[in-house]
Chain A
Amino acid sequence: MAAEEKLYRVALREALAEEMERDDSVYLVGEDIGKFGGAYRVTEGLLDRFGAQRVVDAPIAEEAIVGSAIGSAMLGLRPVVELMTINFSLVAYDQIVNNAAKIRYMFGGEAKVPIVIRMPGGAGHQLSAQHSHSFEVLYGLIPGLLVVAPTTPEDAKGMLKSAIRTDNPVMFLESMSLYNVRGMVPDGDYTTPIGKAAVRRTGTDITIVGVSRMAVLAHEAAKQLEEEDIDAEVIDLRSIRPIDWQPIVESVRRTSRCLVVEEGWATYGVTAEIAAGVQERCFDYLDAPIRRLGGAQVPMPYSLPLEKASIPTSEDIKKLAREVVGRKPLDG
């Protein structure tokens, strides 16, 4: 299949446009997504193309946006909500947890909520403590939600299409730092399944599982570790709920070692869940304790040096990987 290099944000836009073309019930709602084209320019041009009825500029009221979208989804529409950042989703958390996630179950399947809530998370842009969260875990822990975090333009497009087509609520976690990432995107209509992890690199010495943008950093770290004769396998979790255990377990049983990385706080984090699950499934295969790496357990500092120090880097990943493998760094 032919492919073309595209930006992550463009891949998302294509997914939205193609699904709106394919299905009239799909509509977009969010703050500044119409005239302004979206805070991160994902929806640029879509208002002109699909009109104000399908690209709805909403007031600054996340609870109302999500609540109305849930209602419309129950009545047969397929809303794709854009929240400006994951930080503002806290305002809508009650709607997401108590309505989106539970209605299908509580109504015995008579109502369903085919809603997608897109929102970027992560830190690294000096947006300070209130606007730099990685809240994968807040949604990952809620039964009834599907939670995904694509890291490549191809996955961004393919998984957004899958998300729009599924009849269950999907939390679609983008990353502020990934919008400008380029990558090959297949031509034509394709979907990437939700609930599947991706092995980004095969290796024999250690399995590094990365969550969201940390999968990208883990891949970078793995390439550099090769020079130190550490052959790391990298798994991009992609789906935070449900977790695709099979490739992780198969990998750890081969490498006998595991490191899990997320940008958010590791205590009670996604990494804690992965580490616990791997331990249950691979105990007799482990040659070293499973380690996890997350961001500094502080409100994100505004100061640039402090912010940098608070977010895991590929160097941090390499350092911990060496420890798990039992190797000293090259420079002592």
Chain B
Amino acid sequence: MADVNMPKLSDTMEEGTIVEWKKKSGDPVKKGEVIAEVESDKATFDLESESDGVLDIIVPQGVPAKIGAPIARIGAAGEAPAAQATPAAPAAKPAQEAAPKEPAKDVPKEVAKAKEPNAEPVAAASSAPPSPKPAAQPAPATQDGNGAAAGSADVKASPLAKRLAAELGVNLAMVKGSGPEGRIVKEDVQAAAAGKTAPQRAPAPAAVRPAGPDVEVVEPTRMQATIARRMAEAKTTVPEFTVTVEARVDLAVSMRQQLKDSVPGADKVTMTDFLVRACALALRKFPEVNSSWVDGKFQRKRRISIGLAVAPSQGMGLLVPVVHDADLKDLIQISIESRQVIERARSGRPAEGDLSGATFSISNLGMYGVDEFVAIINPPEAAILAVGTIKEVPVVDAGRIVPGKVMRMTLSVDHRVFYGATAAQFMAEVKRLIENPVTLVVPATQ
């Protein structure tokens, strides 16, 4: 028998949930076959079987399990204890799991065997006879599972709202309730049927006192809960300071256009890709920045892997897909790889390692027109670069005022890991590289 444990799918993952078991208990599985879909704090992953055998599910779907906790077993075909003994394997399973813990004291085994002639000797010996006590054991677990599933599908609506919805052909799942505790009431259904978004009261159309609570309570997704926890942790435990520089990016902008126009494979290169390359080179020069403060010691990271803060394709959240070993890749490689890793993360199906192992992060809000901003460090990384928009401004060049393109970048720094002078030098180096973009297109060196 081999245990299947809840895998650790990201740096921040503490527990995961089986979204769906693709196989039932008792089903034969092959090595490499997808047996379940597992949801972590960041995304949903396929869980593959690591061996051939017969699946024996321990943790039902919808129930969270800590990483490393056994969620299933894969046994040899003949070894499967209960699955073969009773045809109704999945349902009966918990009973037999629970049974040995509470042996039926009153019923001698011989009698038990006689009572259940169909049971194979192995099953009878290793599990309790079908006495009422152990049989009753699995009920709570089973009901919990069912209850959770039913509860999530439940829509809270008044009887009148339900009747009206049926009459008017309104799908209650699509209606937002304005009644107490979010209950869907008559007006909500009528508004939905009329194609309106908000309920209106006939006598007082002015929204003086709209019906419903002032505050709507929304459950965070697992990802949002993790972000909340991690950001609060960063802000309360990391003593940070920030350093801002403004870089001329006229050359970078024109070089990017040249690359897109003339270099195969570079047609989708972005300013962020330039920054990844620039930061990777700067990090190699300043290993203090590519470090962490852990348990009172510095950790210098040999690999330079850069996380890119991006929004998920739907819903509110934050993903940080990682370009690994960015210092060993040239700009075109970085461009191709960052696009792939971002796409995988946004699709909710990242590959292993896509979301972990970053040693430095970049957050670019330039595309939203943000001038500059301060990003929160993602521990245990020591720094994060916040990048603003590219603006055309009058600049003084050799004593003359000329139009120029500038971009402001702010580095948030964990002051435990490195200090102001290093931060300033690091930023000067990033600025130098981005202002002389030819340095970014020369081939990567080992």
Chain A interface (Cβ < 8 Å from any Cβ of B): 228-229, 231, 256, 283-288, 323, 325-328, 330
Contacts and interface: CB of A to CB of B under 8 A. Distances in A.
Contacts of A327: 209, 211
B345 to A, nearest CB: 41
B204 to A, nearest CB: 5
B140 interface: no
Nearest to B163: A284
Interface of B: 158-163, 178-180, 183, 185-186, 201, 203-204, 208-209, 211-214
B209 A287 contact: no
Contacts of B160: 256, 284-287
A283 B203 contact: no
B217 to A, nearest CB: 16
Contact of A326 (B163, B178, B203, B208): B178
Where chain A touches its partner, the secondary structure class is: loop
Contacts of B178: 326
Contacts of A286: 158-160
Contact of A288 (B180, B204, B208): B180
Where chain B touches its partner, the secondary structure class is: loop
A287 B179 contact: yes
A326 B185 contact: yes
The 3 closest A-B pairs by CB, nearest first: A287-B160, A287-B158, A284-B163
A287 B180 contact: no
B180 A231 contact: no
Contact of A328 (B186, B204, B209): B209
B172 to A, nearest CB: 14
A284 B165 CA distance: 11
Contacts of A284: 159-160, 162-163
Contacts of B209: 228-229, 327-328, 330
12 contacts: A229-B203, A229-B209, A256-B160, A284-B163, A285-B163, A286-B158, A287-B179, A287-B185, A288-B180, A323-B180, A325-B211, A326-B180
A287 B186 contact: yes
Given A229-B201, A287-B186, A288-B179, A326 B211 contact: yes
A228 B204 CA distance: 10
Contacts of B179: 287-288, 326
B212 A326 contact: yes
A287 B178 CA distance: 11
Q: From A284, A286, A287, A330, name the one whose CB has the most chain B CB atoms within 10 angstroms.
A: A287
Q: From A283, A325, A326, name the one whose CB has the most chain B CB atoms within 10 angstroms.
A: A326
A283 B161 CA distance: 11
A285 B179 CA distance: 15
Q: From B161, B185, B211, name the one whose CB has the most chain A CB atoms within 10 angstroms.
A: B185
Contacts of B180: 288, 323, 326
Contacts of A285: 159-160, 163
A285 B159 CA distance: 6
Contacts of B213: 328
A283 B162 CA distance: 11
A299 B179 CA distance: 36
B185 A288 contact: yes
A7 to B, nearest CB: 37
Nearest to B211: A326
A203 B238 CA distance: 61
B357 to A, nearest CB: 50
Contacts of B159: 283-287
Given A286-B159, A323-B180, A231 B186 contact: no
Contacts of B212: 326
Contacts of B201: 229
Contacts of A328: 209, 213-214
